Structure 1
Amino acid sequence: MLRRRDVDEVVELKRQGLSIRAISRLTGYHRTTITRYLQAPTARPVYGPRVSAQSKLEPFKVYLKERLQAGVWNGAVLLRELRDRNYSGGYTILTDWLRPQRKQAESLAVQRFETPPGKQAQVDWGHLGAVSDGDGERKLWGFTMTLGYSRRLMAEAATDQKLGTLLRMHETAFYDWGAVPDEILYDRMKTVWTGTDERGEIVWNAIFLDFARYWGFTPRLCRPYRAQTKGKVESGVKYLRRNFVCGLQGREPAGLIDLNGQLRWWLAEVANQRVHGTTHEQVMARWEADRAAMHPVNGRPPYPYMDDEQRKVARDAYVSWNGSRYSVPWRYAGKEVWVRDHGPSVEIRYSSERIAVHAPATKRHQVVTLRHHHVGIPTHSRQSVKTLIHIAQSAPVVEHRPLAAYEAVACGGAL
């Protein structure tokens, strides 16, 4: 059977006046075949589109979409799960399918959703600048917690983002509000989560998860590729920079304490008194509905957590901590100790024994010393002189013998 383009070629040659014999010589087709197609041109073969073979991934796409909805976007994790379900395809097929899914997730129109009163708060850190104490410069971070319904904002500045600092700022918000929301949404900060397991499920920081259970809220993570779900927080950090930090230009605070004092005033008099641009209502007017739906604090004490870090005592019986040095009893020189920041004091422990308590240094590179720690410290040092030997030179000792002994030797005898 001739292909359609071959039949078209035969018809064109005949239209040009060539005989069937000539067409046969030119094309190599038999004269009978040429005659048959010229007499019945409607018999030309017609080919439709080819039916593509089903992708090996096709039976698993429903499962994959469920996993994407659950927040699992890691191709290696998804491939491992598909292998457990007898998937025989390759990794490339999977990533080729995932690529447009990611693009679609990033470009989807965002539907704004409003959380009910007391349901959710959102937390994040934002870089605010730097603080200088005369001995150096440290980054300045702003912590924000925003209630999803009323948009009431709590914020505080700090020079680190440690777990202890994060927990303390949570509790500052809880005590300030007198209540705790049902759940709190976070970005993927390492003080909150430590990664994902082999199934792509969230692995929470164990201490943080215990803290959440202690206060009765459920932690949640912002879904990957869906940064819009934290829009209230990102706007809160941006608002903090543009409305509060911007106003400090030219009248910078005297220090971190002064900065946080001004920040508390701004929150009470400006941020939480404004008419919000989205709700078109005053923040504090909606706050009453938030507070009524949240869990009351009821005088619950702070979560029992303190930042501990291991340090080695130097030979001069000092421990380095947060850029300053603190004395310990000299007999602990060279030993490993634990330093704990209590806030109003710095506590140093060796095993279960508390060996030193200091007031925190007021600036970096300060040396904080309690004199009794170094009473009796050995002042001698190992001698570095060479060990030498002294030899007294003396005359050799000569044995005295009678002359008869020498005569016997001369005559062939022996001494």
Structure 2
Amino acid sequence: MVLDPHRWLELRRFRPLYESGAMSLREVAKETGLNRRTVSKYLKDPASAGLPRRESAGRPQRRVVDEIAPLIDAILRAEVLMKGSVIHERLVAEYGVAINYQRVKIYLQEARPRIAQELGISPGELAGLHRRFEVVPGAQAQVDWGDEGRVLAHVGIPKVYSFHMTLSYSRDPFCCFTTSQDLATFFDCHRQAFAHFAGVPLSIVYDRTKTVVRRHVAPGEAVPLHPEAVAFAGHYDYDIDVLAAYRPQGKGRVERQVNIVRDHVLAGRAFSSVEEMNAAFTAWVPLRRAKVHGTHGEVIGHRAARDHSALRPLPQTPYVVAQRHLRHVGKDCLVAFDANLYSVPARKVRPRQLVEVRATKSQVSLHSTVPGSDGTTLLAIHSRAVGRGARVVDERHWDGLPTGSGRRVTTGDALPSSRRGRPTGSQTGPLQALLSRSAAAHVEVGRRPLSVYDELTGTRPFNSPSPTKDAR
């Protein structure tokens, strides 16, 4: 089959797009109305269609994708089976790369086998593959942290984190923003999420964060859980499900939710406080619930209603998680915790005594390690300081300590008020007169030459000539 001139010109127009990877054979065939095999034949061998072959002046033609090829290779080395659409999305969103998705896809066709061979993964292995699962309403939620960086650095907050909880059945999201990832903050975010969903799921999936897992163990061994995490889960009656190491696919629903919140809530906006960021998420939630989810194909809000109705009810009283640490009492009756100082009563402690610090997100309480005479251990309660370097002191804790108010100084020109009217000078004796500077001026002092002391001690005067050798 020989193409007519009009077909030649049409193929000439699409050939640069095909060679650069911007269009596939299928897309060219659809645009030209030709058979896919015909398009493949004449695009791969332009001479057979009478089209002049493009010359490269003896040099291999450089593609646009070659400039970011090392970056794509690095992404593949981290996860060799990552989808091409995800890689293209990250290139655009995280690295600001402006490139057509088709070019990335064409490059991945040759790069993925090469990277897999470097990593020692054979094509037949199931490395990176996972089984998709679905759950019944109320059965599971997934939790993860997001690092939002210095979005509030202009108001003095060095770093902001986002806490995410997603219901697995409906993909209904919850997010709140914090300035810390400590134990108390972590579980305080849980309480906010339970209030947002108006219930508690049967289980929650975590990765191996130190606020849930006490220490890492070898594969196959039981994971030791943090005592406060166990107590919190027991109070709210849910099961802790800890993923295996390096298996983020096990909580892909919440992993995806982290990026969605960044794109729809944070991107292109400026905030002046954490409260503003939380308010922005709350305002966005109705929009999210009105969407049709691409996986389960239902409106998220409709599916969330079934999810919420299957959750367990909240307990009558909340469980407040507290960090527990042992600290020494300083000589100034202050206890150091989290780069801040908190006071304790001077009458109940001694220097270098060990006390227990129990810290929640908003409060710090200090306890004695041994119960007192009344059977209690509580020494003091303070509001938790914000930032570092603060000193939180209750002035009543220093009652009974020297204040320095009894210390006095004087120039000596006047007697103290308690001694005014008393006789001075020789009437009260020399010692009494020396107590005040003005009275000391009237004390009579005997005067005698220094030679008198030389005669008494038998030493020669300092101004007498030294003896000669003959005199000796």
Cα deviations by residue, 1:5-57 (Å, 9 ceiling, x for unpaired)? xxxxxxxxxxxxxxxxxxxxxxxxxxxxxxxxxxxxxxxxxxxxxxxxxxxxx
Alignment partner, residue 19 of structure 2: none
5+ residue gaps in structure 1?
1-98, 381-391, 398-415
Match of 1:233 among 242, 246, 254: 254
Kindly indicate which of the two structures has a greater share of residues assigned to strand.
1
Counterpart of 1:366, as a letter, is A
Cα deviations by residue, 1:209-257 (Å, 9 ceiling, x for unpaired)? 2322332222212234543222111101111222212142xx222x233
| Consecutive aligned runs of 4 or more in structure 1 exceeding 4 Å deviation | 99-103, 131-137, 392-397
Alignment partner, residue 104 of structure 1: 125
1:315 aligns with 2:331: yes
Cα deviations by residue, 1:123-175 (Å, 9 ceiling, x for unpaired)? 11111113768996543211111011111111111222222222222222222
Counterpart-to-counterpart distance in 1, 2:216 and 2:249: 21
Counterpart of 1:345, as a letter, is Q
Tell me if the contact between 2:265 and 2:280 (Cα under 8 Å) persists in the aligned partners: no
Match of 1:212 among 202, 214, 233: 233
Alignment partner, residue 133 of structure 2: 113
Alignment partner, residue 374 of structure 1: 398
Counterpart-to-counterpart distance in 2, 1:151 and 1:128: 21
Alignment partner, residue 288 of structure 1: 305
Counterpart-to-counterpart distance in 1, 2:384 and 2:264: 33
- Larger relative CO (CA 8 A, sep 6+): 1 or 2? 1
Tell me if the contact between 1:133 and 1:364 (Cα under 8 Å) persists in the aligned partners: no
1:180 aligns with 2:200: yes
Tell me if the contact between 1:318 and 1:327 (Cα under 8 Å) persists in the aligned partners: yes
Alignment partner, residue 62 of structure 1: none
Match of 2:243 among 215, 222, 246: 222
Counterpart-to-counterpart distance in 1, 2:365 and 2:247: 43
Alignment partner, residue 123 of structure 1: 143
Mapping of residues 4-403 of structure 1, within 5 Å:
104-108=125-129, 110-130=130-150, 137-193=157-213, 194-196=215-217, 200-248=221-269, 251-253=270-272, 255-267=273-285, 269-297=286-314, 299-330=315-346, 332=349, 333-351=351-369, 352=371, 353-378=377-402
Relative to structure 1, the CA distance from residue 361 to residue 188 in structure 2 (aligned partners, 3 Å threshold; closer, same or farther) is: closer
C-alpha deviation, 1:197, in angstroms: 6.3
C-alpha deviation, 1:122, in angstroms: 0.7
Counterpart-to-counterpart distance in 1, 2:345 and 2:267: 48
Relative to structure 1, the CA distance from residue 142 to residue 216 in structure 2 (aligned partners, 3 Å threshold; closer, same or farther) is: same
Relative to structure 1, the CA distance from residue 145 to residue 256 in structure 2 (aligned partners, 3 Å threshold; closer, same or farther) is: same
Alignment partner, residue 9 of structure 1: none
Tell me if the contact between 2:152 and 2:271 (Cα under 8 Å) persists in the aligned partners: no
C-alpha deviation, 1:339, in angstroms: 2.3
5+ residue gaps in structure 2?
1-119, 372-376, 405-452, 459-472
Relative to structure 1, the CA distance from residue 356 to residue 153 in structure 2 (aligned partners, 3 Å threshold; closer, same or farther) is: same
Identity of aligned pairs, percent?
31
Aligned partner of residue 180 in structure 1, secondary structure: coil
C-alpha deviation, 1:111, in angstroms: 4.4
Aligned partner of residue 106 in structure 1, secondary structure: coil
Counterpart-to-counterpart distance in 2, 1:393 and 1:122: 100
C-alpha deviation, 1:198, in angstroms: 8.7
C-alpha deviation, 1:115, in angstroms: 1.9
Counterpart-to-counterpart distance in 2, 1:118 and 1:373: 50
Relative to structure 1, the CA distance from residue 300 to residue 266 in structure 2 (aligned partners, 3 Å threshold; closer, same or farther) is: same
RMSD: 3.4
Aligned partner of residue 134 in structure 2, secondary structure: coil
TM-score by length of 1: 0.59
